[in-house]
A and B are shown apart, each in its own frame.
Chain A
Amino acid sequence: DTAVSQTPKYLVTQMGNDKSIKCEQNLGHDTMYWYKQDSKKFLKIMFSYNNKELIINETVPNRFSPKSPDKAHLNLHINSLELGDSAVYFCASSLRQGYNQPQHFGDGTRLSIL
């Protein structure tokens, strides 16, 4: 029973392409997140959604567009991929916004741009 699942696990693609990463959680949580982990292992939040509404949008290029069709899903679409987008992208969820709760992470998607 995977709590937070991301697909694909690995994504290798050419510069300039458009790609999507999917995330689903079966924990019944209201809040979901996208994080980026760079080559030095530094983790930084990109977006947060609460019950399908965007609540955090860090300084991220507008080539990155999150979409939440329902509160159990938060997908990340990336247009015109660049070399600097190579990283591991993690999806996470927590119970609800406005309450500090443990965050639970997916296994990550390793994106490599050729």
Chain B
Amino acid sequence: GIQVEQSPPDLILQEGANSTLRCNFSDSVNNLQWFHQNPWGQLINLFYIPSGTKQNGRLSATTVATERYSLLYISSSQTTDSGVYFCASSGAGSYQLTFGKGTKLSVIP
């Protein structure tokens, strides 16, 4: 099955800083999603982005399917951005999401 790798595994930011999280996948994908798991454990779907670029407020994501990676940008980070960010993907012909191990983000005041 498809392999999904995320980097960095841990990230500590000062409030107001920007960051880029990376997701590499091992095969062609037809589905790429970014999730945020907040400190209360809730999983929130941030982006469905199998290709191209999307923006939602301070967050944006870009997927370059031909080069097998996706990036999540967080600008002007806030303490409420803390949590774990997951990338998940399914390969061609599959509808089963495989999750990466996540990037744990801590935003300190």
Measured between beta carbons, the chain A residues less than 8 angstroms from B30 are 100
Chain B interface main SS type: strand
Q: How far is the CA of A108 from the CA of B31 in the complex (A)?
A: 23
Smallest Cβ-Cβ distance to B32: which chain A residue:
A100
Asked if A43 is at the interface (CB within 8 A of a chain B CB), the reply is yes
Q: How large is the interface on B (under 10, 10 to 19, 20 to 34, 35 or more residues)?
A: 20 to 34
Check A43–B45 contact: CB distance below 8 A: no
Asked if A45 is at the interface (CB within 8 A of a chain B CB), the reply is yes
Q: How large is the interface on A (under 10, 10 to 19, 20 to 34, 35 or more residues)?
A: 20 to 34
Asked if A90 is at the interface (CB within 8 A of a chain B CB), the reply is yes
A-B contact pairs, 5 of them (CB 8 A): A41-B101, A41-B102, A55-B95, A100-B90, A102-B33
Interface residues in chain B, defined as those with a beta carbon under 8 Å from any beta carbon in chain A: 30-31, 33, 35, 37, 41-45, 48, 50, 84, 86, 88, 90, 95-97, 99, 101-102
Known: A103-B88, A107-B42; 13 extra A-B contacts, CB below 8 A, are: A41-B84, A42-B99, A48-B96, A56-B96, A97-B95, A98-B95, A100-B31, A102-B33, A102-B45, A103-B45, A104-B45, A105-B45, A108-B42
Interface residues in chain A, defined as those with a beta carbon under 8 Å from any beta carbon in chain B: 40-45, 48, 55-56, 88, 90, 92, 97-98, 100-105, 107-108, 110
